[in-house]
A and B are shown apart, each in its own frame.
Chain A
Amino acid sequence: MTWDEMTPLLWEAAGQTAQMVGWSTLFTLLFGLPLGVALVVFDRGGLRPLPALRSVLGVLVNVGRSLPFIVLMIAIIPFTRLVVGTTIGTAAVVVPLTVGAVPFFARLVETALREVGSDVVQAAQAMGASRTTIVRKVLLPEAFPGLVAGLTVTVVALIGYSAMAGTIGGGGLGDLAVRYGYQRFETLLMIVTVVLLVVIVQVVQSLGDAVARRLSHR
């Protein structure tokens, strides 16, 4: 296979990967951030201790985290159909990607929020700040560098997960590597895809690190 033949294939696959990772990152933020906040706030000794609810959320997160992505993707097919109306294609992959990444990201959010000193939270309580104010103006801003670092790790994980999207026709770089590189013995394409994936992950990680460093005032 020549470069001229490979280029459009690579472009198309990279675009699909970007779409899958982009949308699922967005939804992961949307659901994972509140879930992570809930894990901290409802915990014993948290701002609003609700141990029963906290346990339920903790179990849900652990279940989500313990399923291998490829199993999860198949297992939630009925749910995927319910949400996007189809079970194949790029859009259908965003659902399992999000479901897989939300618990992962929520745990990272939880860890980042726990890094915020209890003395700072108590100082805000002593000033008469409400719980919502403490979450919005103390916990989240203080944990921001940690949240960015967590999001970076999540995006990298999503790039990895998205490689399995080919199983349900989602396309992407991983799928390209399997179909051409493995099944058709196009070794050069395989190598190019692998290099491309490595470069993308490097760029995402460095970008995330740079942002986190810039935001950190410790």
Chain B
Amino acid sequence: MWGFLVIQVSGLRKLYGDTVALDGVDLHVREGEIHGVLGQSGAGKSTLLRCVNLLERPTAGTVTVAGQDLTALPSRELNRARQRIGMIHQHFALLSSRTVAGNVAFPLEVMGVPRAERARRVAELLDLVGLSGRGGDHPHQLSGGQKQRVGIARALAGNPSVLLSDEATSALDPATTRSILDLLKRLNAELGLTILLITHEMNVVKSICDSVAIMSGGRIEESGAIADLIRTPGSRLTREIFPLPEPAPSGSVTLTFTGDPQRPVVSEAVRKFDVEISILGGSIEELAGGSVGRLRVSITGDTAPALAFLRERGLLVEVTP
């Protein structure tokens, strides 16, 4: 489905004194995908992201971006490699002494792009993020969402092979978050931009990520394409997206169905088999790949053939013993 691995992190460990921040992390991000790393604060996701462009030097392990092992590069080459890795930040990290255009031009200056070329590229980038005409403003004149747009334009200046997003929407209100996520999704679709984002908000993962890694205590607990994880029994991602009372009551059945939620599989099962099905809880969520539903039911009667029928129809059926 996707091309080669743009980011390959393997066996990553990071120690701060005796504190273990990363405890053997492997991460693979494919070209063209939006990959989320989800976790509570302190889970190590920020350290992980900062290891990808070597803002933090890992204690052990390797980081390969666009085929280059960054951990092996001398500092001059590392700087050149970083010019092809865009990054956006939670608090935007714009230079207050420069105008919007000056901020976007900064990475181009670092790369040694000539002045005329810079001006052209800056105009193009500001247009791309919907800020044309604001180039002369200073960051303090902009709203949070606009500041992050400047951050995104700046991050894209060097035509990066990958964009790293460090909690880019965590300082924004819900409506602005929505518009920034839409922008990232659009850039991903239009430019084929690969995005690695870290977040503590499930909402971000649900709305734009193709795949996700769930982190806790410096380890990745679960990772993969969202569509695959949803179909994996006992998946933590599924449990967190669809909060049902835990633990499930003994004898209850949890059904996860993808695709058309209108499809009347449950009533079909009731009609075909001698069973009663009562719904204990459940919800339907729109995910990046389509809608997914999860139902907790209790089934009485001739359960075995009914469950087999549901499985046959492509539902994930988990029976609590």
Contact = CB atoms under 8 A, between A and B. Distances in A.
A119 B138 contact: no
Nearest to A130: B79
Contacts of B121: none
Given A128-B82, A130-B79, A123 B96 contact: no
A144 B95 CA distance: 12
Nearest to A117: B93
B97 interface: yes
A138 interface: yes
Interface in B83-108: 83, 85, 87, 89, 91, 93-98, 106-107
Nearest to A141: B97
A122 interface: yes
Interface residues of A, number: 21
A62 to B, nearest CB: 29
B96 A142 contact: yes
Most buried by B among A123, A141, A142: A123
Contacts, number: 63
A120 interface: yes
Contacts of B110: 124, 127-130, 133
A217 B83 contact: no
B127 interface: no
Contacts of B138: 217
Contacts of B95: 120, 138, 141-142
A137 interface: yes
Given A128-B79, A129-B79, A218-B140, A122 B93 contact: yes
Interface in A120-151: 120, 122-130, 133, 137-138, 141-142, 144
Interface residues of B, number: 29
A10 to B, nearest CB: 41
Given A127-B107, A217-B139, A120 B93 contact: yes
Contacts of A138: 95
A119 B50 CA distance: 12
Contacts of B169: none
A123 B87 contact: yes
Nearest to B76: A130
B148 interface: no
B151 to A, nearest CB: 8
A119 B89 CA distance: 8
A127 B82 contact: yes
Nearest to B91: A119
B55 A137 contact: no
A215 to B, nearest CB: 8
Contacts of A123: 87, 89, 93
12 contacts: A117-B93, A122-B55, A123-B87, A124-B106, A126-B87, A127-B83, A127-B87, A128-B82, A129-B110, A130-B79, A141-B97, A217-B97
Interface of B: 53, 55, 78-83, 85, 87, 89, 91, 93-98, 106-107, 109-111, 138-140, 154, 158, 164
